[in-house]
Amino acid sequence: MCSDIAIRIEGLSKRFEIFNKPSDRLKQMVVPHLKRAVGKQPTPYFREFWAVKDVSFTVKRGETVGIIGRNGSGKSTLLQMICGTLNPTSGSIETSGRVAALLELGSGFNPEFTGRENVFLNASLYGLSNEETAARFDDIARFAEIGDFIDQPAKTYSSGMMVRLAFAVIAHVDADILVVDEALSVGDAIFTQKCMRFIRSFQQRGTLLFVSHDAAALQNLCESAIWLSQGEVQQIGSSRSVSEAYLQYSLQEIYGNDAQLNAVGESANDVTDGSVLAESVADNRSRDTTTASLPQPYASSYDVVDNLNDANGWTTGEAKITRVTLRDSEGNSSPVFSGGDRVRLGVCVEAQNSFTQPIIGFIVKDRLGQDLFGENTLPFTAFNPCEVRQGETLEAEFEFTLPMLPNGQYSIMTSFAEGDLHNNVQHHWLHDAVILNVSSSKVRWGLVGVQFKNVSLVAKS
């Protein structure tokens, strides 16, 4: 395998045998052999279930790849084969380096053993000697933060404590490849933040496979993504394009026959070359967005680009977003705005059907697709109902103050839906209706900037 490839999977499949009753399992072990012995064709006593079917992809060394899909799509089975805890039915898996994994809750732990004993057992599975584990044990226990429970049987642990200890082990085995399933979802907020800090640090030196149902987390952490559906690869591409496609698919599954979502445009963010994505991420991380002196004007300039005609998304054909505008507080159009300006965002929709509970909304996203801020008309229409007839035009306006944003490109997602907070159908959804190119002189850290009135430093005796 090439030196720059961490994981290579070709034609990978996994078949399980499903038996209707225990006696069928016994028959399958005995009867086929007897029938073959007398020259008869054996009849199987099981049903085949292919959890993973003909999956192929490569992950480059140092790349972060997300895996997304519904429950039962084969994600966990795929990860278990990569980690070696399941043998594939067919196909090949090649990995380069030590693989550490946080898969199913409690996997690799003996419930009768204490936490201390499980640390040594688990670490030995990753190739560490008892001496190496003993040298790292204090750091592992400090990371897990479960106190005296480290010497109690694992069967007395809560799910959160189990994840703490399991993650603490994989964080200290010097892995080259880290595989994280959705086990982190059971941890508390403080420990999850701790884990995410470790993961971001690990990304600088290792290869990461990350499974999550959280599209925002996937786009935030991962350069590229793989969407699995019924054991097969549905799409491979940039984390943003895959997440957007998966969102449309998920909503279609929810709506069923009530609405048909048809794709609009093609995603310009679908890049399958992991090295290109990695270079793009590295460029953005290394870009210096600070200035040398504090007294310079604190500013964030917005260059507004109308992208409505090229925006991708979906539509049911029952409504169409025809115009999205960004104007100043007086209603005047301008190609450039500054952070702190009062603006009006207008969204115009043509109704090709009648709607009794229309909703228009928007979300501003960063280049990774993370939601920064947004709003919809639902809080207003909940008290002031508004109906629209077929052929009429509906206009929404949102007045707000532009925040300070760091250098980079942002997009405004707009949508038209009908329903209420808990039950609605998205009839037209456009991911990149407006592009915002932000030039910032003073936003140093974080996703948004705050205008500080004063910064002082005083030494006192």
Q: Are 241 and 294 contained in the same domain?
A: no
Pairing between strand 336-338 and 300-306? Answer: antiparallel
Nearest to 44 by CA among 31, 59, 61: 31
Nearest to 140 by CA among 113, 170, 117: 170
By the 10 Å C-beta count (0-12 exposed, 13-18 middle, 19+ buried), 36 is classed as: exposed
Distance CA 360, CA 415 (A): 6
137: phi then psi, degrees, rounded to nearest 5: -60, -40
pLDDT means over runs of 10, the chain (461 residues)? 86 93 89 86 89 94 92 90 92 92 76 94 91 95 92 91 90 92 66 80 91 80 91 93 90 86 67 35 35 43 84 92 91 80 92 95 85 91 88 95 82 93 91 84 69 76 80
406: phi then psi, degrees, rounded to nearest 5: -70, 170
Q: Are 309 and 222 contained in the same domain?
A: no
Domain contains 460: no
- What is the enclosing helix (H) or strand (E) of 225? strand 224-229
Q: Are 240 and 336 contained in the same domain?
A: no
- Residue 57: what pLDDT? 95
Distance CA 320, CA 415 (A): 9
Q: Are 14 and 75 contained in the same domain?
A: yes
By the 10 Å C-beta count (0-12 exposed, 13-18 middle, 19+ buried), 87 is classed as: exposed
- Residue 293: what pLDDT? 35
Q: Which bin fits 217, alpha (ψ -120 to 50), beta or left (φ > 0)?
A: alpha
- What is the count of structural domains for the chain? 2
By the 10 Å C-beta count (0-12 exposed, 13-18 middle, 19+ buried), 206 is classed as: buried
Q: What is the CATH number of the domain that holds 141?
A: 3.40.50.300
Q: Are 233 and 356 contained in the same domain?
A: no
Q: Which residues lie closer than 8 Å to 23 by C-beta, 6 or more apart?
A: none
CB 173 within 8 A of CB 133: no
Q: Are 212 and 361 contained in the same domain?
A: no
Residue recorded with tokens 């996994």: 14
Distance CA 322, CA 347 (A): 8
Token code pair at residue 197: 């800090």
Q: Which residues lie closer than 8 Å to 68 by C-beta, 6 or more apart?
A: 75, 211, 212, 213, 215, 218, 225, 226, 227, 228, 242, 243, 246
Domain contains 278: no
Q: 251, 278, 297 — which closes off a domain? A: 251
Distance CA 26, CA 426 (A): 51
Q: Are 314 and 436 contained in the same domain?
A: yes
Domain contains 280: no
Residue recorded with tokens 């020259």: 39
Distance CA 1, CA 453 (A): 57
Nearest to 117 by CA among 67, 63, 157, 88: 157
Q: Are 237 and 91 contained in the same domain?
A: yes
Domain contains 256: no
Q: Are 51 and 153 contained in the same domain?
A: yes
Residue recorded with tokens 């039915």: 89
Residue 25 lies in domain: 5-251
Domain contains 60: yes
- Residue 279: what pLDDT? 36
Domain contains 459: no
Residues written for the chain: 461
- Residue 363: what pLDDT? 94
Q: What is the CATH number of the domain that holds 327?
A: 2.70.50.60
CB 388 within 8 A of CB 415: no
Q: Are 38 and 177 contained in the same domain?
A: yes
Nearest to 67 by CA among 187, 188, 246: 246
Domain contains 275: no
Q: Are 295 and 242 contained in the same domain?
A: no
- Residue 306: what pLDDT? 87
Distance CA 418, CA 354 (A): 10
CB 235 within 8 A of CB 242: yes
- Residue 271: what pLDDT? 37
Domain contains 281: no
Q: Are 224 and 124 contained in the same domain?
A: yes
What is the pTM (predicted TM-score) of this model?
0.75
CB 187 within 8 A of CB 164: yes
